[in-house]
Structure 1
Amino acid sequence: MTNIIARTVRPVHFEDFGGQDFERLVFVYHLRAGWSDLAWYGQTGSDLGRDIVGVEHFEDWQPRNTVIQCVNRASLTEAKATRDMEKACRAPGGVPDAFKFVCRGAVSSDQRDRVKAAGRKLGIHNVEIWSGVEFEEALRLRAEFLLQRFVEGVVFPDAASELRRFVDDFPDLSDEDTLRIMAAVFERPAFRTPFQAESSLPAFQQAIEDTISALNTGIWRTRDGTEIRRLPSLHTLRDAGTRATLTKVVRELDEIRRIFKRHLADQTIRHCSCDDPNCPVFMVDHGAARALDEARTKALQTFRRAWPSFDVSVA
Structure 2
Amino acid sequence: MPNVTVKPVHFEDFGGSDFERLVFAYHLRIGWAALAWYGQTGSDQGRDIVGIEPSDQGRDRRTVIQCVNRESLTQAKAEHDMANAVAAPTGAPDAFRFVCRSAVSAQRRDEIAQAARNLGVRDVTIWSGSEFEEHLRLHAEFLLRRFTEGVVFPDDGVGLRAFVDDFSELDDAGALSLIGRAFDRPAFRTPFMSESYLPAFLQAIEDTIGALNTGIWKTRDGIEIRRIPSLHHIRDARIRGELQQTVRALDALRRLFKRGLEEGRIRHCQCSQPNCPTFMVEPSAAAELDLERTRMLDRLNRIIPHFDVRID
Question: Could you say what secondary structure the match of 1:119 adopts?
Answer: helix
Paired residues of 1:116 and 1:127 also in contact (CA < 8 A): yes
> Who is 1:224 aligned against?
221
> Who is 2:77 aligned against?
80
Deviations along 1:248-292, one digit per CA (max 9) or x if unpaired, are 111111111111111111112122233322222222222211111
Question: Could you say what secondary structure the match of 2:62 adopts?
Answer: strand
Counterpart of 1:145 (choices 142, 156, 168) is 142
The 1-side partners of 2:145 and 2:288 are apart by 43
Aligned residue identity for 1:136: E
Paired residues of 2:177 and 2:305 also in contact (CA < 8 A): no
Question: Could you say what secondary structure the match of 2:187 adopts?
Answer: helix
Question: Could you say what secondary structure the match of 1:156 adopts?
Answer: coil
Counterparts of 1:20-31 in structure 2 under 5 Å? Answer: 20-31=17-28
Question: Could you say what secondary structure the match of 1:34 adopts?
Answer: coil
Paired residues of 1:141 and 1:180 also in contact (CA < 8 A): no
> Who is 2:102 aligned against?
105
Aligned residue identity for 1:91: A
Question: Could you say what secondary structure the match of 1:228 adopts?
Answer: strand
> Who is 1:195 aligned against?
192
Counterparts of 1:253-264 in structure 2 under 5 Å? Answer: 253-264=250-261
Question: Could you say what secondary structure the match of 1:244 adopts?
Answer: helix
Q: How high is the TM-score relative to the length of structure 1? A: 0.92
Deviations along 1:8-42, one digit per CA (max 9) or x if unpaired, are 54433323322211111001111222223322222
Superposed CA RMSD: 1.9
The 2-side partners of 1:9 and 1:262 are apart by 53
Percent of aligned pairs with the same amino acid: 62
Unmatched segments (≥5 aa) in structure 1? none
Q: Which moved more, 1:274-283 or 1:154-163?
A: 274-283
The 2-side partners of 1:166 and 1:308 are apart by 24
> Who is 2:159 aligned against?
162
Paired residues of 2:99 and 2:127 also in contact (CA < 8 A): yes
Aligned residues: 312
Asked if residue 238 in structure 1 is aligned to residue 235 in structure 2, the reply is yes
Counterparts of 1:257-296 in structure 2 under 5 Å? Answer: 257-296=254-293
Paired residues of 1:39 and 1:54 also in contact (CA < 8 A): yes
Paired residues of 1:119 and 1:127 also in contact (CA < 8 A): yes
> Who is 1:178 aligned against?
175
> Who is 1:132 aligned against?
129
* Cα 1:9/1:274, change in 2 over 3 Å: farther
Counterpart of 1:309 (choices 299, 303, 306) is 306
Unmatched segments (≥5 aa) in structure 2? none
